């Protein structure tokens, strides 16, 4: 009954639960509290892996498991009442993607936890968040979720990968599976969050992001149940999982790899090279918002072209056979894949 009451509240911030992880003097990390929804062992283990407590990394981070966003902030603990606890991580589980908003909330919550190493203040705060979507030092009304979509520098991604950045665009546009490897969590997250801006601005959907994955069996199973995604990982073994990705983006070497099974769909045609030149030029002269606009406009032009082909050919749905002989052979498969991704292919 309580859970139904909570879920029926205003809850503009769309917060599902708060959780606390702790690391003890033996370096063991465990989930010690969650509210109002109890987390199962699988979800708890994933939070432990992603928290950074095992690696003693206290940086803010965000991730996603199934349809729930996870936001983490760890702090050292010095408490006479809990001498065995050396660090804690507060986790916000929410339905919304807005790292900046929940980072600010976590700063308030971790300061609260430092003063009283107990979940009781967090429980009271959670209930207040549901009633008013604000607490002292934080208000949901001060954050625009739309701004979270354009945070991060798409311009720096284009500069890093140059003409190869068009492969990211193609993979996003075609709803392909992408793995992104990086050694540092902060740079991995800031880069990966820009990927939907390549070819998917018109969809306004960031749900495909899996910003931080540790390659555990449960995480891999979650990916296998998803049709497409953008996965971030700091584990170099992710490159060996080529059956799970159509594009591998390596931030450490600034290289992009297309595995053999995906090369028919993601390839560098003459069209792609021209598009890449446009991206690189924009990356050298435009602001981040300017680059976003250029890519969005070029993407719209292509989708409009595909839709006009559908009308011109008099087809309810575009097919490979219907496109045969009507477009250059090098564009045949690509345009059909665009139609599939946009839901206008048969």
8 and 131 in a single domain? The answer is yes
pLDDT value at 5 more than 60: no
**E strands, 121-160, where?**
134-135, 138-139
Structure confidence at residue 342 as a pLDDT band (50, 70, 90): very high
Residues 167 and 186 in one domain: yes
Same domain, yes or no: 15 and 124: yes
- Considering the domain architecture, whether residues 206 and 114 belong to the same structural domain is answered as no
How many other CB atoms sit within 10 Å of the CB of residue 316?
8
Same domain, 141 and 167: no
pLDDT the model gives residue 312: 87
User: What does the block give as tokens for 223?
Assistant: 């990916």
Per-residue pLDDT reduced to its tens digit, 21-30: 999 999 999 9
Say yes or no: 292 and 315 in one domain. Answer: yes
Same domain, 104 and 171: no
182: pLDDT strictly greater than 80: yes
Name the helix (H) or strand (E) containing 213: none
Decide which of 262, 295, 319 is a domain's last residue. Answer: 262
Look-up: residue for tokens 């607490």? 135
The answer to whether residue 20 is domain-embedded is yes
Domain stops at, among 145, 168, 196: 145
Give the percent of the chain with pLDDT over 70. 97
- From 117, 145, 173, the end of a domain falls on 145
pLDDT tens column, 116-149 = 899 999 999 999 998 889 999 999 999 999 999 9
Strands 178-181 and 138-139: unpaired
Verify that 158 and 257 share a domain, yes or no.
yes
- Whether residue 251 is found in the same domain as residue 132: no
Who wins on pLDDT, 20 or 9?
A: 20
Check whether 1 has a pLDDT greater than 70. Answer: no
Which pairing describes strands 29-35 and 134-135: parallel, antiparallel, or unpaired? unpaired
Give residue-wise pLDDT tens across range 269-301. 999 999 999 999 999 999 999 999 999 999 999
N-term to C-term CA, the chain: 46
Q: Are strands 178-181 and 247-250 parallel, antiparallel or unpaired?
A: parallel
Indicate whether 267 belongs to any domain. no
Does the pLDDT of residue 72 top 70, yes or no? Answer: yes
Residue span of the structural domain in which 195 resides: 154-262
Same domain, 45 and 138: yes
Residue 324 falls inside a structural domain: yes
pLDDT of 9 above 80: no
CATH of the domain at 67: 3.30.450
In a domain, 223, yes or no: yes
- Would residue 273 count as lying in a domain? no
139 in a structural domain: yes
Q: Does a structural domain hold residue 269? A: no
In the predicted model, is pLDDT for residue 186 greater than 60? yes
At residue 11, the pLDDT reads: 56
Helix (H, G, I), strand (E, B) or coil at 206: coil
Claim to verify: residue 229 and residue 247 sit in the same structural domain: yes
| Band of residue 314 on the pLDDT scale cut at 50, 70, 90 | confident
Q: What's the structural domain count of the chain?
A: 3
CA-nearest of 201, 103, 203, 210 to 150 is: 201
User: Does a structural domain hold residue 277?
Assistant: no
Query: The CATH number of the domain where 170 resides is what?
Result: 3.40.50.11500
- Together in a domain, 175 and 209: yes
């Amino acid at each position: 009954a309580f859970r139904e009451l909570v879920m029926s509240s205003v809850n503009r911030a769309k917060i599902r639960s708060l959780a606390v992880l702790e690391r003890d003097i033996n370096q063991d990390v465990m989930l010690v509290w969650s509210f109002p929804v109890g987390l199962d062992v699988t979800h708890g283990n994933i939070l432990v892996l992603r928290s950074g407590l095992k690696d003693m990394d206290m940086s803010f981070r965000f991730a996603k498991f199934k349809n729930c966003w996870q936001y983490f902030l760890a702090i050292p603990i010095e408490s006479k009442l809990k001498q065995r606890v050396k660090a804690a991580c507060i986790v916000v589980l929410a339905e919304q993607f807005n790292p900046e908003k929940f980072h600010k909330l976590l700063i308030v919550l971790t300061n609260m936890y430092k003063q009283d190493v107990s979940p009781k203040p967090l429980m009271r705060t959670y209930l207040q968040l549901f009633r008013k979507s604000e607490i002292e030092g934080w208000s949901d009304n001060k954050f625009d979720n739309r701004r979270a979509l354009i945070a991060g520098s798409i311009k720096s991604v284009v500069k890093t990968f140059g003409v190869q950045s068009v492969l990211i665009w193609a993979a996003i546009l075609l709803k392909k599976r992408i793995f992104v490897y990086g050694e540092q969590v902060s740079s991995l997250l800031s880069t990966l969050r820009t990927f939907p801006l390549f070819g998917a601005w018109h969809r306004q959907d960031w749900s495909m992001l899996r910003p931080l994955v540790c390659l555990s069996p449960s995480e891999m199973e979650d990916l296998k149940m998803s049709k497409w995604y953008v996965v971030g990982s700091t584990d170099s073994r992710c490159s060996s999982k080529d059956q799970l990705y159509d594009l591998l983006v390596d931030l450490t070497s600034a290289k992009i790899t297309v595995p053999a099974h995906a090369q028919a769909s993601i390839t560098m045609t003459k069209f792609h090279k021209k598009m890449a030149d446009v991206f690189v030029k924009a990356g050298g002269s435009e602001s981040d918002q300017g680059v976003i606009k250029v890519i969005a406009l070029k993407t719209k032009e292509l989708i409009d072209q595909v839709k006009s082909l559908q009308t011109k050919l008099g087809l309810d749905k575009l097919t490979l056979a219907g496109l045969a002989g009507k477009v250059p052979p090098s564009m045949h498969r690509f345009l059909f894949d665009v139609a599939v991704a946009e839901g206008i292919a048969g």
